[in-house]
Amino acid sequence: MSSPSTLRRLAQRLLPLLDLTGTDVDEAGVRRLCARARTPAGNVAAVCVPPRFVPLAKDLLEGSAVPVSALAAEIVAGADEIDLALPFELLRDGDRMAISAPIAAVRAAGGRKVLVKVVLETGKLADPARIRAAAEAAIDGGADMLVTASEAAQPGASAEAAHILLKLIAEWQRRHRWIGFKAAGGLRTLSDAQPYLALYDRVLGEGSASAAGFRIGGDALLNDVLLALGLPVEE
């Protein structure tokens, strides 16, 4: 078992890399999510909400510098980021144009100021060749960040799939194209999250993870981070 000091250091690194996601939430849920985004130890990387709640989240987070991401298939007015989930059939069938076209459309509508994070559902794709093909098509379409899975996906994230995405990202970095990575899907504890941060360090450079290039998803994960930092958590 990791020592308290090791867990604390890990929690300190992960807190500013966390994406808090509210998928099926009402107004009260969005207010709760935005309140949790600002902690005594610092702010999270972003808050992801359904499109209709983007204006509310922007108001609640005003002055915090925490971006608001919309869970959508199109550009959403006011959103700083878009979490784009494509139909799984497109990913499974590997039709590169069908995958890249909707991403390019969102990219064109939003401009470079909007960060486009493409959810690849790697756990469902399973096959390494399919995962890489879907990721390459997403990059071709203009994805800014590759996401392993949606929060509730089963199966969700895996280290094997993450390694495939990170190796591809490293290849593109050598071509001078920046692409980010987000681990999501069933990550609830520091023990769940640690392998992904370690893998990022190994592939892309020790200590190189920042919110610009590395995110990790999980509302529940925030509680474990706060516990390790000695801060109160939600009951």
pLDDT cut 90: percent of the chain above it: 72
Asked if residue 234 is part of any domain, the answer here is no
Half-sphere exposure of 203 (CA within 13 A, CB side): 25
Asked if residue 235 is part of any domain, the answer here is no
24: pLDDT strictly greater than 80: no
Q: What separation in angstroms does the CA of 98 have from each of 35, 146, 182? A: 38, 17, 22
3-class DSSP state of 159: helix
Range of the domain at 219: 4-228
| Greater model confidence, 89 or 161 | 161
Asked if residue 70 is part of any domain, the answer here is yes
2: pLDDT strictly greater than 90: no
pTM: 0.94
168 pLDDT tier (thresholds 50, 70, 90): very high
235: pLDDT strictly greater than 70: no
Asked if residue 73 is part of any domain, the answer here is yes
Round the average pLDDT of the chain to a whole number and report it: 92
What are the tens digits of pLDDT across the range 126-156?
Answer: 899 999 999 999 999 999 999 999 877 778 8
94: pLDDT strictly greater than 60: yes
Asked if residue 65 is part of any domain, the answer here is yes
Asked if residue 88 is part of any domain, the answer here is yes
What are the tens digits of pLDDT across the range 104-119?
Answer: 998 888 887 899 999 9
184: pLDDT strictly greater than 80: yes
Asked if residue 16 is part of any domain, the answer here is yes
Q: Using N-to-C axis directions, what is the helix angle for 219-228 and 27-36, rounded to 10°?
A: 30
62: pLDDT strictly greater than 80: yes
Quickly count helices (H) and strands (E) in the chain. Answer: 10, 10
Contact 18, 43 (CB under 8 A): no
Summarize the confidence of residues 55-81 as an average pLDDT: 93
Asked if residue 99 is part of any domain, the answer here is yes
Query: Residue 177 belongs to a domain with what CATH number?
Result: 3.20.20.70
44: pLDDT strictly greater than 70: yes
For the chain, how many structural domains are there in total? 1
